[in-house]
Structure 1
Amino acid sequence: MTRATRTPRAPRIPTTQPAYVLHHYDWSESSLILDLFTREQGRLAVVAKGAKRPYSQLRSVLLPFQRLQVSLSKPARGEEGAPEVQTLRGAEWAGGHTLPAGAALFTGYYLNELLLKLLARQDPHPALFDAYARTLPLLQAGEDALAQAALRAFELRLLSETGLLPDLSLATLTQAPLQPGGRYWLSAEAGVEAVEMAQSQAFAAEQLVQLEAALLHGSVEALQQACLGALPALKASLRGLLHYHLGHKPLRTRSVMLDVQKLLD
């Protein structure tokens, strides 16, 4: 039911490259292990030596949701030929927006957790990197619908890039084009399937065709615009798809958001 996955290509290792910090772990009293999302090499594990020292210039740079320009050591090879953890040689702030706040901050960490759990290491996804960069500033959009459309568009791009999304313009089981005026549901197990009743969480055929066209076009803005007209159905179906492919384990960020909402209520 899913798209054919890409065969990972050997990454070209540039001198410097854009990156975001997805997560960090303590490695020693003075150093960190970073999980970086880079445009050229995908998700990488990197050692930032001395980053925890009070006088380190990296302390104010290695922050989540900030676009960086990083330089890395060449990856060494282990005994079995697998690349080892690389060393961060330098990192500079590459400009961008302020850190998200409030609910947008939780949503940003939700995006990071999705990338950590669904992306293999050292598998580049330039289109997904660009979508992430353009989604972050929209999470704080004044209109909630715009922020929701940006989030749904990112989830669609992530599922598409990882081969977990079926062709939205076809009925998955028959591979027949969607019928104009028809109503459809996006199922984790059966893909795009017709529904007889006009359910509030069902898609119109035209909505799915527009979403597929926007995915193929590659424009982040076009995909966000297509999502605006199908937000209720997208929220329900994408939550089911992600839950299914994550192995039915709840995301930590989603659990924290629900706990905070309960406290506020």
Structure 2
Amino acid sequence: MSKLEATGYVIHRRPYRETSLIVDFFTRQYGRISAVAKGARGASKSDRKSLIQPLQLLSFELSGRSQLKNLGIAEALQSSLNLKGTSLYSAFYLNELLMRAIPETEPMSMLFEQYQRTLTALERVSNDNTAAEINANSIPTGDVEPILREFELLLLQELGYLPDFNYTADTGEQIIADLSYSFVSEQGFIACSAKQAYALSGRDIISIAQKDFSPSARRAAKYICRQAFLPIIGDKPLKSRELFISR
């Protein structure tokens, strides 16, 4: 029986039989991978019940020749993240996006590093707002949106769906700040009238490319990312987005 060693985060889990879980990990070595964690739920007194939690970074062993592995020895590599309110909902969103967007067992080391940086940034936002005596549930979305957009843009790049933010898709002309553009999924930006529905400012497109997320660029980036992900994850709503709406 072959064994694999991996480092990764728990991004999803679901019941399996009476006392076990099927756990989805996002790992440095293998991308997204699934495993059966025996004795991790129900009346079992296994330490795994407290160890296998969403957003927990683990070092672990996997065994088995099928696509669905068996989880062996697992050890926490850091304490649980201190995420609250909007920051926590944002992390759940990242996990659901990974579950829906990336194929299994396809290594994405750059994305894994960005995922870690994103969680760290979300934790910092959560702690900063708590220190400032702001309710964590009321963290301004402007604090987390640039963090999420940077992750989404890298994910699109890794999947081959990132549009060219410098040149138009149809003519190859450079994006001009004073012109307007429409965004077409799987193609890119096309010059259009400023009066056209969902027209985007060239200035905002250029700002996004430079990771300069002004309020208008944030709105544009959110629209672009949502449209760009449609061919990848489909139009079935992400459950984690409901957390933001219900606040």
Give distance in 1, aligned partners of 2:19 and 2:114: 33
5 Å-filtered alignment, 1:1-265, equals 16-52=5-41, 54-73=44-63, 75-76=64-65, 83-95=66-78, 98-140=81-123, 141=125, 142=129, 144=140, 145-179=142-176, 181-188=178-185, 190-197=187-194, 202-205=200-203, 208-209=205-206, 211-212=208-209, 225-228=211-214, 230-258=217-245, 260-261=246-247
Are the equivalent residues in 1 in contact too, given 2:193–2:199 (CA < 8 A)? Answer: no
Gaps of 5+ in 1: 1-12, 77-82, 215-224
Are the equivalent residues in 2 in contact too, given 1:50–1:56 (CA < 8 A)? Answer: yes
TM-score normalised over the length of structure 2: 0.80
TM-score normalised over the length of structure 1: 0.75
| CA deviation string 1:33-82 (max 9, x = no partner) | 11111111011110111222542121221111122112212x41xxxxxx
Give distance in 2, aligned partners of 1:211 and 1:176: 18
Are the equivalent residues in 2 in contact too, given 1:201–1:233 (CA < 8 A)? Answer: no
Give distance in 2, aligned partners of 1:14 and 1:210: 46
**Alignment RMSD:** 2.7
> Residue type of the partner of 1:232?
R
- Residues 92 and 226 of structure 1: is their aligned pair in 2 closer, same or farther, counting only changes over 3 Å? farther
